[in-house]
Structure 1
């Protein structure tokens, strides 16, 4: 039988890279427990830059003579982003998939007595290991749990990049009958061939066995098995409404003894995406009321515990979401299990994000990460699609990019033909692009009313996509605005970072999604604020502030309650604007967020008005405040006559509170007024000549020619210190830069640059 032992305490950590740590104890290290990251502070804004490099972890392991008769594996939950495991100075295993679990067979390297386990972890930039660039912190460390696995000679396969060594596929066959396919591989590390069997037993939640089957096997070094079983009229996994799970027990039996076993929850359900009825769960339409989540917590970085994950799930359930996009990489297996248990449909994905590899045009590391994600998360019924890319055309779109997306889709279908594939495009991908034919589901990350355009443009973009691709199911895969709950305004506007603008933005997005049946749903970016070390925005450093909840989970922004009013069945009322306490205007519009129809509003103990409508966001206009303190109380009545109340204090003051206004620092965002800096009056376009440089060449190509490099530096020299350039210069062109709101490049600037570049002849 497999015996798992936690191996998390009393590790010695060194924040330096010394190759002698493979075999020599760290002399003056820090004692840490796992999970651990060395970027928990600087990765969330605690420094001007965060440390990216190699560090070491060491731990002793005492092995008895009896232990050496077992097969011992080290299971590392994840090592960000590259991990090398040494045992007594010898390399025993490695991982270049920084978000996936990996195992290392220890037995060949162990000796009786004391052994030294040393793990080098490296989160520095490697051009062939994803992610290469993204708007989140690439935390370094052993940030998930580590285990020792003690096993018999005969056991389920541990080294196929999977997790269980067993793959369960429930699939509807006909009528109300489902087929349960059980496949896997048994490893026999003994010196002799054995006769044995694999037995599967399926039980319902009452403990009643509803299915049983046995496969007789001749167990050689590696023996595959496959069984097909049928179950009639199973209780279905119905998402958040009824996430019913059966329990499957799979055992390897030799000579009447159980040598290894797995217990895996099983959910029976069907998923289909349509453009006329939306997503169908077990044949019933369901709109994806989704949020995105990063594995990130204030003060902990990505070294989060099960307690952190339980808290996240409780908040996600409170807001009423029925789906999650777990971005932008493989998450902890425990969190996928929570999604199974509570019925949230999951978009799971890999970190093939922003830019492809210039060093490896085949992007093989993306394939490796996809294989691990699919194999390790295969048995989670909550997962309905595999995401193969996120905004990968942000810097470059060429034949290599297209081929890589297609290869990833083929690989996902080979590994799991029963789930859909998905991708999340940046807004610049044209609606009729061939890219939108590669996956079963197409997502767009759209930020109309934040980075570009107006909030109402979202409706038009939905419609234009549907006209171009009427048979392609569409998902709004990201949308949101950075919000600092300290900032407030009577007249909210783009990039003022106020809670009031966040409400307007999300109210528009919710209604747009609800109004279009061909839109399967959407995923709020993001459920929680998260670490993005290089950010300086919205009055904060090192954080993306688009969350509905703050990074420490201590504060729910008003937009959280907007979604709760639309999505949740739990009766409640919430008065928005409680942090906008100092009001300098007499008359104020008050937003009430509630899923209750009947609302009473009291001001200073006097009934002000009564509202009866189903609008989740009810506005009480022109509430007159007296100077000094004012108490606003709201009561809502549910269908059973129960009263639900909320109350806020508002203070009438003479002048605007300056702490509510974000003072923008243009230099922090690299915003340039190009028309003031350069003469862009001559806007007559030119016809670009072949064989000469232009804005379509990559930055790296421009840098190879001294004169072309000079033109680039003339216009962008003050930006080249940004880490963004070092990472993207091999694939990014000035033309691509225009698609990023970050640079705010007008068309007139492209004309001016091309007039200077297109007279410089390329070297043959």
Structure 2
């Protein structure tokens, strides 16, 4: 197997990057092997089967069946193939395929050579195809069969797997396909893998600090480089700049730390963003990139309100799942933008991205529109699996934090959702779940001490995270909607930092009627307001205002 890079590139904008949207063929079943995707085919011969269809990316395997109430949506392997022209402009440069998201297990081939694979449908990852491309160019079929193009085949698989998160007990579809953008990227031999920019400011907003660390992609072990950086405000004014020579490019390298006096503060009402522009100069050539940063200070007061830049802010928000009718998870950039603009227009200043890391496009829009973010990994229901399961959770948390570290909109890293819900494993051990939550909590703080950790609905772990949201569904699953105030007051006293992140009683249309449906008006009170196993079928609607289903979102 050729050299594999499974990583992320947060600085694609300034590089030579192209979205590979067009000229794809798709097969909604498995192949006997990758050879079936690339072998020569004569019309009418048996090799012409199976029949592929033409699609554009992003593309979701479940664009149609996910919303069909009469069938199980497809969970299994699928294939994509295309032929690309590879002409790297850099001398000895690297050619990369950068995936913004594909689900849920993905394998990548150049001709018949497997060049990379990834487990996880929500984090970004990159495969270095340089060596495989150069080797293929030396074969006879490169010109004879493929006419100077490089055949790329990609297998995705969203089959059910108990040792993979998210669980199929989750109340959202576990989609398959290349449902976010796929990019062809050219970089010099030395480039930036990640540029971490930490923007801090005191509560008074007077004294700011910018700390920048770089992680390089340096497969040829270049020893020396110079990094030029400048911080530019929204008006184009250079606020600060730096130049630093480096002779050790391994690990996370400190490249800049500077104080910023009276920075313009980021907030939902005035989302001021700065540009951090940089150039890495080395014997391999120049690599340029840019990151957006924002200065803001936030605090969850113990047993009190939320403060942003020293002032109380009422968080008014909603949730978002990354899917849409007709396309499944394969939302285009325009569709995402329209959706986020609607949220901002309706008054949202806070959003929970449930229940998984979402597209970089979403986070960029939250930054520019001024929408605070709770983003979480998809450890959702089912219990706790083995080491394969736990390693994926660790990796997804690490990738989410590192890939979205620079976004000023993010204030909370969510560690899980409804983890008191068993069912995927014979064992449901609360102490083991607590132990793993403690590990994830420590990992989150190690990677990013500036944000809070959070969890929704797992009372036996509520003391572990920084911010906790209990389950209160008054008037939906249990109790009457008028019980909300008392329930919130009781839960508020149990934890230092309370937030109520999920409810739905007031969204039932008949709750706004003078004479609600007779069955709904007889809901029992005095038995709590939390969601419990089986409640979805109890109070999802009277017989039958709506079909039975899981109404927890």
- Answer yes or no: is 1:249 the counterpart of 2:249: no
Pairing of 1:266-415 with structure 2 (within 5 A) = 266-360=293-387, 363-395=390-422, 396-415=428-447
Report the structure number with the largest CA radius of gyration.
1
1:72 is displaced (CA, Å) by 0.4
Any idea what SS the aligned residue of 2:330 has?
coil
- Answer yes or no: is 1:25 the counterpart of 2:38: yes
1:85 is displaced (CA, Å) by 1.1
Q: What is aligned with 2:161?
A: 126
What RMSD over aligned residues (CA atoms) do the two structures have, in Å?
3.1
Structure 2 CA distance for aligned equivalents of residues 297 and 476 of structure 1: 26
Listed one character per residue, the Cα deviations across residues 151-177 of structure 1 (whole Å, up to 9, x for unaligned) are 1111112xxxxxxx1000012369621
- Which one of 428, 434, 448 corresponds to residue 416 of structure 1? 448
1:481 is displaced (CA, Å) by 4.3
- Which one of 447, 455, 469 corresponds to residue 443 of structure 1? 469
1:220 is displaced (CA, Å) by 5.5
1:449, 1:494 within 8 Å by CA — same for their partners in 2?
no
2:202, 2:297 within 8 Å by CA — same for their partners in 1?
no
Q: What is aligned with 2:499?
A: 475
Change in Cα spacing, 1:279 to 1:258, as seen in structure 2 (3 Å) is farther
Any idea what SS the aligned residue of 1:315 has?
helix
- Which one of 171, 174, 186 corresponds to residue 150 of structure 1? 186
Structure 2 CA distance for aligned equivalents of residues 244 and 65 of structure 1: 37
Q: What is aligned with 2:515?
A: 491
- Which one of 476, 480, 488 corresponds to residue 462 of structure 1? 488
Change in Cα spacing, 1:662 to 1:222, as seen in structure 2 (3 Å) is closer
Listed one character per residue, the Cα deviations across residues 625-646 of structure 1 (whole Å, up to 9, x for unaligned) are xxxxxxxxxxxxxxxxxxxxxx
2:190, 2:216 within 8 Å by CA — same for their partners in 1?
yes
Structure 2 CA distance for aligned equivalents of residues 442 and 65 of structure 1: 49
1:254 is displaced (CA, Å) by 2.8
1:188, 1:222 within 8 Å by CA — same for their partners in 2?
no
Structure 2 CA distance for aligned equivalents of residues 106 and 307 of structure 1: 30
Q: What is aligned with 1:684?
A: none
Change in Cα spacing, 1:66 to 1:156, as seen in structure 2 (3 Å) is closer
Change in Cα spacing, 1:361 to 1:56, as seen in structure 2 (3 Å) is closer
Q: What is aligned with 2:240?
A: 211
Q: What is aligned with 1:573?
A: none
- Answer yes or no: is 1:8 the counterpart of 2:21: yes
Q: What is aligned with 2:144?
A: none
Structure 1 CA distance for aligned equivalents of residues 518 and 241 of structure 2: 60
1:194, 1:254 within 8 Å by CA — same for their partners in 2?
no
Q: What is aligned with 1:628?
A: none
Q: What is aligned with 1:179?
A: 209
Listed one character per residue, the Cα deviations across residues 165-215 of structure 1 (whole Å, up to 9, x for unaligned) are 100001236962111000012233447x45321121001112111111122
1:75, 1:147 within 8 Å by CA — same for their partners in 2?
yes
Change in Cα spacing, 1:263 to 1:44, as seen in structure 2 (3 Å) is same
Change in Cα spacing, 1:423 to 1:22, as seen in structure 2 (3 Å) is farther
1:216 is displaced (CA, Å) by 0.8
2:266, 2:296 within 8 Å by CA — same for their partners in 1?
yes
Structure 1 CA distance for aligned equivalents of residues 118 and 513 of structure 2: 49
- Which one of 265, 268, 275 corresponds to residue 236 of structure 1? 265
Structure 1 CA distance for aligned equivalents of residues 215 and 519 of structure 2: 55
Any idea what SS the aligned residue of 1:474 has?
coil
Q: What is aligned with 1:618?
A: none
1:118 is displaced (CA, Å) by 1.1
2:18, 2:184 within 8 Å by CA — same for their partners in 1?
yes
Q: What is aligned with 2:104?
A: 81
Structure 2 CA distance for aligned equivalents of residues 339 and 422 of structure 1: 19
Q: What is aligned with 2:142?
A: none
1:665 is displaced (CA, Å) by 8.4
TM-score (norm 2): 0.83
1:65 is displaced (CA, Å) by 8.2
Q: What is aligned with 1:44?
A: 67
Any idea what SS the aligned residue of 1:368 has?
helix
Q: Which protein has the bigger strand share?
A: 1
Q: Work out the number of aligned pairs and report it.
A: 499
Listed one character per residue, the Cα deviations across residues 302-354 of structure 1 (whole Å, up to 9, x for unaligned) are 11011111111121012101100011001110110100001111001110101
Change in Cα spacing, 1:482 to 1:669, as seen in structure 2 (3 Å) is farther
1:186, 1:219 within 8 Å by CA — same for their partners in 2?
no
1:23, 1:88 within 8 Å by CA — same for their partners in 2?
no
Any idea what SS the aligned residue of 2:245 has?
strand
Q: What is aligned with 1:717?
A: none
Listed one character per residue, the Cα deviations across residues 216-239 of structure 1 (whole Å, up to 9, x for unaligned) are 11265767333211111111112x
Structure 1 CA distance for aligned equivalents of residues 182 and 116 of structure 2: 14
Structure 1 CA distance for aligned equivalents of residues 544 and 299 of structure 2: 46
Any idea what SS the aligned residue of 1:168 has?
strand
Any idea what SS the aligned residue of 1:226 has?
strand
Pairing of 1:505-520 with structure 2 (within 5 A) = none
Structure 1 CA distance for aligned equivalents of residues 502 and 519 of structure 2: 17
Q: What is aligned with 2:84?
A: 61
Any idea what SS the aligned residue of 1:311 has?
helix
1:187, 1:223 within 8 Å by CA — same for their partners in 2?
no
Listed one character per residue, the Cα deviations across residues 271-314 of structure 1 (whole Å, up to 9, x for unaligned) are 10014540100110011111111111111111101111111112
1:349, 1:389 within 8 Å by CA — same for their partners in 2?
yes
Any idea what SS the aligned residue of 2:500 has?
strand
Change in Cα spacing, 1:219 to 1:62, as seen in structure 2 (3 Å) is farther
Runs of at least 5 residues in structure 2 that lack an aligned partner in the other structure: 1-13, 40-47, 138-147, 423-427, 524-528
Q: What is aligned with 2:197?
A: 168
